[in-house]
Amino acid sequence: MSFKFSTELRVRLPETDALGIVYHGNFYTYFDVARMDYVRNLGLMEFLLSPSGANVLVHASADFRSPARFDDILVVEARLSAIGETSFTFLFRVVHKEEARLVAEGTSVHVSIDPRTWARVRVPEEFRRKVRQFEGADLSER
């Protein structure tokens, strides 16, 4: 599995728990930061912010592999792995930059909706085209 996009972040003190490691819930924020940077990088922000179309999160999961601590620099890799009729799936991998150690992995699934009715709608062709161009053969489409 190839990740063509990544972003970096530094662990802030309030993101850690009583044991001094990143509280597990913060990884969902890290995934979201990477997702938004990915979308911004592909020029797809209007897809997320358009009054005529939107998407909602319907699933998120994370697997924790090793700890991250205050002031660690983490590389959060993101890729759009699949686009279905009305949904799309992101995969994430968090790596400790200095140690090249896998910290966490995650997935999020989003559904395209009409924001007025909340009915599912087809993932827009422009979104598909730009993701297809960026991800190439690594993208699964239905």
CATH of 5-137, one of 3.50.50.60, 3.40.50.10260, 3.10.129.10, 2.60.40.1180: 3.10.129.10
The tokens of 113 are what?
A: 């909706």
- Does the pLDDT value for residue 52 go beyond 70? no
Task: Convert the pLDDT of each residue in 76-114 to its tens digit.
Answer: 999 999 999 999 999 999 999 999 999 999 999 999 999
- Does the pLDDT value for residue 29 go beyond 80? yes
Domain spans, the chain: 5-137
Q: Cβ(7)–Cβ(37) under 8 Å?
A: yes
Q: What is the pTM (predicted TM-score) of this model? A: 0.94
